[in-house]
Amino acid sequence: MNSKNKYGYLFISPFFIVFSIFGVYPILLSLYMSFTDYKGIGSPYSANWVGLQQYARLIKDAYFLQAFINTWKIWGVNIILQLALALILAVIFSDMRLKLKGVSLFRAIFYLPNLMTVSSVALLFLYILDWHHGALNGLLLRAGLISKPVNWLGQPHTAQLAVSLIQTWLWFGHTFIIIFAGIEGISKDYFEAAMIDGANRVQTFFKVTLPLLKPIMIYVVITSLIGGLQLFEIPFLISQNGLGGPEGSLVTMVLYLFNQAFKYRNFGYAAAVAYGLFLIILVFSVIVFKGMFKEEV
């Protein structure tokens, strides 16, 4: 048995070696860098040790605070729309009384945007939202809803709303499939009992569906929170120059981290931002988890 165990360790050792080199070591190195003033030149180990100065700077950094607020604004609109649409459609498509057909086709259509690369999505919406020749402005002008082209990506509020809607369109199908699977996993006996007791659709939703979906909803919210607070690709590509669009309204926390590291060469400070972001995600994930699992008095 001992010799077999040795062979087992031998077979799994390649994974742990690769994971240690490309996973554990970069994490520990970035932690070390966050205590230095490393500028990206030479070895990180030769940089000056500054202790907690980078973290003290992070706490007082008004630009990081603005990036924090921007990230929450974009994610907040996104998750509200995404959850609302996914929940409503999942309930409609799984309704025993309606017995809708073609559910599999709609699931595939809803999930299709999630299969597209983010760069393709950003390019698509850059053309749609273009100020001078965009399809959206052309459509609204022909319909008489606006009198002149709107610079959707040139104003802070409309730029943030545009990114939120793009994220909703991109991830709505993924959320819909998870919630739909959760509803399908609920025993039909509960819904039949509710129908026999005379409950209407609204009462069935709030008294049966929603309470039994709580674990699924927690999973969706927390995973969306983790992904949303790390939002980078769409704001980076939509703003084109990577500096965050009009008045820095599209600068998210990860985009701020990226700019600090690769534009301004403040690798030590960027590492501190990364660990600050990790703590923010951890704290808010715990708050959401505890809040949604709080026992009712």
pLDDT tens digit sequence for 105-151: 988 999 999 898 898 999 999 999 988 888 999 999 999 888 889 99
Which domains are assigned to the chain? 55-294 (1.10.3720.10)
Which band of pLDDT confidence, cut at 50, 70 and 90, is reported for residue 297?
very low
Q: How far apart are CA 190 and CA 196, in angstroms?
A: 10
Which band of pLDDT confidence, cut at 50, 70 and 90, is reported for residue 4?
low
Residue 161 reports pLDDT greater than 80: yes
Q: Are 131 and 154 in contact (CB under 8 A)?
A: yes
Amino acid making up residue 229: L
Residue 293 reports pLDDT greater than 60: yes
Instruction: Work out the widest C-alpha separation in the chain, in whole angstroms.
Output: 80
Residue 170 reports pLDDT greater than 80: yes
Residue 3 reports pLDDT greater than 80: no
Which band of pLDDT confidence, cut at 50, 70 and 90, is reported for residue 2?
low
Q: Are 265 and 39 in contact (CB under 8 A)?
A: yes
pLDDT score recorded for residue 294: 66
Name the one residue in this structure whose structure tokens are 């057909």: 101
Q: How far apart are CA 252 and CA 234, in angstroms?
A: 10
Average pLDDT of span 146-173: 92
Average pLDDT of span 243-260: 91
To the nearest whole percent, how much of the chain has pLDDT over 70?
96
Average pLDDT of span 75-87: 94
Q: What count of other Cβ atoms lies within 10 Å of the Cβ of residue 50?
A: 18
Q: How far apart are CA 202 and CA 199, in angstroms?
A: 8
Q: How far apart are CA 220 and CA 240, in angstroms?
A: 30
pLDDT tens digit sequence for 173-222: 999 999 999 999 988 888 888 888 888 888 888 888 989 999 999 999 99
The lowest-confidence range among 21-25, 98-102, 179-183 is 98-102
Q: Are 119 and 233 in contact (CB under 8 A)?
A: yes
Residue 59 reports pLDDT greater than 80: yes
pLDDT score recorded for residue 295: 52
Q: How far apart are CA 139 and CA 145, in angstroms?
A: 9
pLDDT score recorded for residue 267: 95
Residue 98 reports pLDDT greater than 80: no
Which band of pLDDT confidence, cut at 50, 70 and 90, is reported for residue 282?
very high
0.85 exceeded by the pTM? yes
Amino acid making up residue 267: F
